[in-house]
Structure formats: C-alpha cells, structure tokens
Amino acid sequence: MYPLFNGAGLAAQRGVVGLLRYSTLAYLGRVPMVIWEAWRGKHSIRGGAPRLLRAPFEVEDLASGNDHTLVLSGELDIAAAEDLEAAVIPCADAAALTLDLSRLSFMDSTGLTVVLLADALCKARGIAFALVPGPRQVQRVFEIAGLLEKLPFEMDPAN
C-alpha cells in the first residue's frame, strides 16, 4: 500500500499551520505525482526540473501630464499587494488614475482589496479613477465579489 501523503502533507493532515518546509509527494496508484516545495515557491515533476510558480509582478507608470495609468502585469496577490500600494500612493495628487489590469495573469482577494483602496483614495481626494478590465480569470474576481457594476471599468487598454 502506498502512502497518500508524506512530509508536509502528513503535517497538514494533523493540523499543523504555517509554511510547509518539506516536500509533499502524492501517489495515485503507483505513479508519483507532483512534488511541492511551497517554502521555495517551486514545484517539479519527479525527475523534472523545478520551475517558478508565479509570474513576476510589475507596475509600469505611464504618466501624461497629471494623469497616471498604472499598467499591472504578472500576478497580483498577497506577495505583490505592497508593490501596488507603493505605486498608487505617489499618484495621490494626480488629476486621474487608471489601473490597467489587461496584462495580469492572476489576481486574488488581496489584489481586489488594493484596487478598492485605490478607488477609495481617489474618491477621498477627488481624483478621477478608472479600471481597464483584465482577462477573464481576473474579471471573475470582480464578478464573484459583485463589483463589476460598482467600479468604473473602461474598455481601452494602455499601449
């Protein structure tokens, strides 16, 4: 009989909370599946080369006069939220702020929170705020949260 999980998987089954430090090897019949190394941000198929799981997050500020368009690319999640906050804060005195989500490959609820904070900052300071929609998986986050109709989406992505 083959174990279902070993290493960190067994710790997770026993309720251990925190970063996984050991590899998890799952067996499906007699075929080894994916080895996860969550603390390194990598995974590999047994015998294969490890690869990074996340696309790097980048913010490009396209300023035109006192209007700023922040073009976001990569994955907007908890690891990248602070980077987006740091890019939004200097735009607090702008006339307009647009967040272009069209180049994002992923966004989670933390990313959604930062977008909502940017919207609130703009409303508080009287700054025009707009969002360029992202790909389907990014727009799905707004749909699930019920915010598609409540946020100012426009249709022209930055070039």
Q: Which band of pLDDT confidence, cut at 50, 70 and 90, is reported for residue 98?
A: very high
The total of other beta-carbon atoms located within 10 Å of residue 157's CB is: 15
User: How far is residue 91's CA from residue 9's CA, in Å, rounded to a whole number?
Assistant: 44
DSSP state of 91: G
The pLDDT value recorded for residue 155 is 72
Residue 78 lies in a domain: yes
Greater model confidence, 11 or 107: 107
Are 92 and 115 contained in the same domain?
Answer: yes
Q: How far apart are CA 90 and CA 113, in angstroms?
A: 18
List, for residues 106-146, the tens digit of each pLDDT value: 999 999 999 999 999 999 999 999 999 999 999 999 999 99
The pLDDT tens digits for 74-96 are 999 999 999 999 999 999 899 99
Domain with residue 95: its CATH number is 3.30.750.24
> 96-107 and 67-76 as β-strands: parallel, antiparallel, unpaired?
parallel
Say whether both 24 and 62 belong to one domain: no
Is 86 in the same domain as 31? no
Question: Do 88 and 140 belong together in one domain?
Answer: yes
Per-residue confidence at 8, pLDDT binned at 50, 70, 90? very low
Asked, for residue 71, whether it belongs to a domain, the answer is: yes
The verdict on 32 and 65 lying in the same domain is: no
Assigned domain for 3 exists: no
Residue 150 lies in a domain: no
Are 66 and 139 within one domain? yes
Question: Which range among 21-25, 43-47, 80-84 has the greatest average pLDDT?
Answer: 80-84
- What is the tally of structural domains in the chain? 2
Provide the whole-model pTM: 0.65
Domain residues for the domain of 16 are 8-52
Is residue 159 a part of any domain in this protein? Answer: no
> Strands of 24-28's sheet, edge to edge?
24-28, 31-37, 42-45, 51-52
Query: Higher confidence at residue 156 or residue 75?
Result: 75
